[in-house]
Amino acid sequence: MTRIVVAGGGTGGHLYPGLAIARALVSARPSIRPFFIGARRGIERDVLPSTEFPHVLLDLHPLYRPAVWKNWRTLIGGVGAWREIGRLMRREPPAVILGTGGYAAAITLAYGVVHRLPIVQQIGDVVPGLTARGFSRWTREAYLNFPEAARILKAHHEGSLIDTGMPIEPPIVPRPDRGAARKHWGFPAEGGSVLLVYCGSQGSLAVNRVVAEWVSKGLPDDLYLLWTTGRGTYADFKHLESPRVRVCAYQSPASDAYAATDLALARAGATTTAELLAWGIPAVLVPLPTAAADHQTTNAEALDAAGAAVHVPQSQLTPQRLDETIRRLLADPAALARLVAGAEARARPNAAAEIARNILALVDRVGR
């Protein structure tokens, strides 16, 4: 049996790619035993206990930049976490440490560097985070969702920055029938178009308010709206449901929604955009302006430049701008088809399996 440590979390964008890779590793080689290291304050606190993987949650804290006097928590938590990681590593040394971003990835990768354990990273955004950038020179292989990120990273060696795409659950094969998927939501099997509004599990109040005003003023003819508000604001918008508007809190699994969708209005997080690309869904991307290092904006700009999406900054998203953008795309089938082609060209639905193959090859090399 071979242990591979997967470290990361805090957000779904750091945790779910690690889970997808871990499952691909076990599928490719059942003797692999993934072990997850996360933080007690992250999303992994709720998600990891429901998975099949053993794990530990550490008392980790961020750097408190505005309130620097709180950084004693970061220091004490880091010392305790380092000791716990040391006990875990000595008990069963891993063949490889995989970092996917977040506090847990940073300290676990640091331990790997100090103790000369092979480390690899999965990097989701055009502008990599502090952890990804800080450890890139020691990273045997970095698996990039956006090839543009290679311009910012310091390669360990030639060929260590690998364009794989984002590890996600790939679309179902064969794809669900479009007509049946539309009927599932109460829409006609044929005719018109379905717009999916999707801004993650928590949704976006700013986007939802614009959509609500747009719906109240009247949607374009033959447009059906599948509106995922997020759990926190569902109660505020559920009254706007109608025969042409379906309002729900969250999509899990999202395949039922993706299969029915012709066009999406979404945030520009790495996982969301990777899923839309994998399903060949053209998107109007409205980046979260407060995301760390404004990374969602650079994601959206890269996909817009590649002809795979349309970028609309949140500051410019109004009911009128939204209405004009959607009407323009729906009235121009050729433009919509170009966006679909651009999305499909950037899609990497089998990224998790590709990353798993690379990691297993590295395991075999270092184990000789």
Q: What is the pLDDT of residue 364?
A: 93
17, 122 in Cβ contact below 8 A? Answer: yes
User: CA 204 → CA 114, 198, 207, distances in Å?
Assistant: 41, 9, 5
Q: What is the pLDDT of residue 203?
A: 83
The answer to whether 2-170+350-366 and 178-346 have equal CATH topology is yes
Q: What is the pLDDT of residue 343?
A: 95
User: Side by side, which strands form the sheet with 309-311?
Assistant: 245-248, 223-228, 193-198, 263-266, 283-285, 309-311
CATH of domain 2-170+350-366: 3.40.50.2000
**Domain boundary assignment for the chain:** 2-170+350-366, 178-346
CA distance 22 to 24: 5
Retrieve residue 207's tokens: 């986007």
Q: What is the pLDDT of residue 67?
A: 66
The CATH class for the domain spanning 178-346 reads: alpha beta
**Rounded mean pLDDT for each run of 10 residues along the chain, 368 residues in total:** 93 90 97 95 88 92 64 68 92 96 92 97 92 94 94 88 93 89 94 92 89 95 94 91 93 85 95 94 95 89 96 97 96 94 94 97 86
Q: Where are the beta strands (DSSP E) in 23-140?
A: 32-39, 55-58, 96-99, 119-123
The pTM of the full predicted model, rounded to 2 decimals, is 0.87
Q: What is the pLDDT of residue 232?
A: 84
Length of the chain: 368
